[in-house]
Amino acid sequence: MKKPLRLVVLLSGDGSIFEAIVEAIEAQRLNAEILMVMSDNPNAYGLTRARLHNLNTHTINVKEYSDTNAFQRALKEALVTLKPDFIVLSGFMRILAADIIQAFPKRILNIHPSLLPQYPGLHTHERVLAAGDKKHGTTVHFVDEGLDSGPIIAQRELTILPEDTAESLQQRVKELEKVLYPEVLQRLADRL
C-alpha cells in the first residue's frame, strides 16, 4: 500500500468541495490524509465541516495582522512547518505571495470555476452567461504566480441550458468539482 498523500487544505468559505475530498478519503477512494484545514476567514463554514470530521483546523485571520505581508509570512511559516505533499486550495479567495508559491513548486493546486484559460478571476458564472457561451465548467490547475494561470491538470465541462442562472451554474459546476478534485488528487497519489 502506497503512503497516503499528505494534504493541507486552504479555504475561505462554505467548503463543500473540501468536504467531497474528505468523503472520498473516508470512502477509501482517495489515498490521502488531511494534516490541517486552514482558513483566512474565522467564520468559514468549511472550518465547521472540518471539525465535524475531526480534522485539525487553523485560522490565520488577516485582520489580526498589521498588513498582508505579515499575514502571508504567517501563512508560509504554517505551511512550511506542516511539510505537505500538496497544498489544496478549495475556495480560497486570496492570492498567495510569490515566495509561498516558490517554496512549493507544482505542489499547490487550485480549483477554479471556469474552463481556463477562459475567465480567470471572479464572477465566472455571470461572465459566461453575459458572453452567451454554450459551455462552462471547472479546472484544476497548479498554482503559479499569475492569476489562475498555472498549468492545467484536468477540466470538466457542462452544457449551459437556456434556463440557467448564475446560481444554477454555480451549483452545477460545484457538482462537477466534487467529483473532479478527489479524482485528480488520487491520480497524484498514484504517481507519488
Catalytic residue IDs: 112
Task: Compare residues 84 and 113 and give the one whose CB is closer to ligand GAR.
Answer: 113
Single-letter amino acid, residue 65: Y
C-alpha torsion sign, points 113, 118, 121, 124: negative
C-alpha cell at 133: 457561451
Tell me: does residue 139 bind ligand GAR (CB under 6 A): no
2 with 189: CB under 8 angstroms? yes
Burial class (CB in 10 A: 0-12, 13-18, 19+), 28: exposed
Residue 112 touching ligand GAR (CB under 6 A):
yes
Q: Is 150 a residue that touches ligand GAR (CB under 6 A)?
A: no
User: Maximum Cα–Cα distance for the chain, whole Å?
Assistant: 49
Distance between CA atoms of residues 61 and 129, nearest Å: 34
* Interaction of residue 15 with ligand GAR, rule CB under 6 A: yes
Residue choice 18, 71, 119, 142 for contact with ligand GAR (CB under 6 A): 18
d(CA 140, CA 94) in angstroms, rounded, equals 16
Q: Which of residues 66-105 bind ligand GAR (CB under 6 A)?
A: 90-91
CB-closest chain residue to ligand GAR: 91
137 forms part of the interface with ligand GAR (CB under 6 A): no
Closest CB to ligand GAR among residues 19, 66: 19
- Regarding 174 and contact with ligand GAR (CB under 6 A), the answer is yes
Going from the C-alpha of 157 to that of each of 88, 123, 180, the distances in angstroms are 21, 17, 11
Looking at the Cβ atoms of 122 and 192, the one nearer to ligand GAR is 122
Nearer to ligand GAR, 22 or 188 (CB): 22
Q: What is the Cα–Cα distance from 111 to 118, expressed in whole angstroms?
A: 14
Site residue total, ligand GAR (CB under 6 A)? 15
Please identify, among the stretches 63-71, 99-107, 151-159, 172-180, the one whose residues bind ligand GAR according to the rule CB under 6 A: 172-180
Per CB under 6 A, does 113 bind ligand GAR?
A: yes
My answer on whether omega of the bond before 117 falls inside 30° of 0, hence cis, is yes
Interacting residues with ligand GAR (CB under 6 A): 13-18, 90-91, 111-113, 138, 173-174, 177
